Structure 1
Amino acid sequence: MREIDILKEQIARLEVKRFDLEAWKAHTLIYISRIFGEGSEHARLINNLKYDYSSWNLRDTSGGIKLTDPIRVQAHEILDAAIHELEVFGLPEKASETHQPLLEAFGNELTGREQKELEKILEMNAKERDKALEAFIDSKNKETLVAILLQLLRQS
């Protein structure tokens, strides 16, 4: 599977001598977002990787410099989990595929910008999606919501 190969390439890039975390994160987030969606847990975990430059975190318990980089180890584990998920469950369905009736119903009543905003919301992880979807729906007027509801009921 091509997606697994891409993630394995990113794991290999963790081992380069002149490793640049921010550049690696940027590339990895592009791939992860395309595979799992922008709001995926994998993307959130990768985005949150950062070095803590306090002197205590750079030393091991014997007072020497650490030989293993905890950020690279964590990044490796995140990508390993993503690869395992792809191997076990296959590619995730995109929001546009799983929420097609909903998008069509909203599509007739929303502007293009609002449609794209809704698509982004539907790709978020469940916790963030529920909160963002509630705010999105609250921002619409009653007539728009009634028209959307009628269209959804006609489709079922």
Structure 2
Amino acid sequence: MSENLTENARNDEIRVHIDQTPYHSPSPTTGAALYALAHIHEGHELFREVTGDHEDEFVPNNGNEIRLKQDEHFHSAKDRKFKIIVNLEEKVVDKRVLTFRGVVKLAYPHVQDGPDVIYTVTFKKAVGPEREGTLDEGQSVEIKNGTIFNVRRTDRS
């Protein structure tokens, strides 16, 4: 009887491959659940393999919903460093997602903020769906090697 229960549970799950090992997971699931399922170590990231001439899709370790396909493949890799351009200067960062404040600090690391200081942040060549645009206070953007930021500081005084 327990064999039938196990078989029924597997019928409601989808087989996926993480680092070439098969696992069974419900779909939809979350990134956090996939990291836990495959015991992805801290300091490693998970990627969904894609077809064609595209970079594999980063899977964040969070509670966002992910819909799986039967026999889909994922792989893990160590966190990487990203070379980006901020105000025409190359910077190396180790975070895949940068916040508005983080980008401002990269552009102006030693400048004190005041009540009359306004920053404008624009970006190009980021990870889609918004590959370029404006980053506002409280927002963040997923980057890749070669992402370009332009940060302007304005004093209203």
TM exceeding 0.5: no
- The structure with the greater share of residues assigned to strand is 2
- The structure with the greater share of residues assigned to helix is 1
TM-score normalised by L of structure 2: 0.28
Q: Which has the higher contact order (CA 8 A, sep 6+)?
A: 1
TM-score normalised by L of structure 1: 0.28
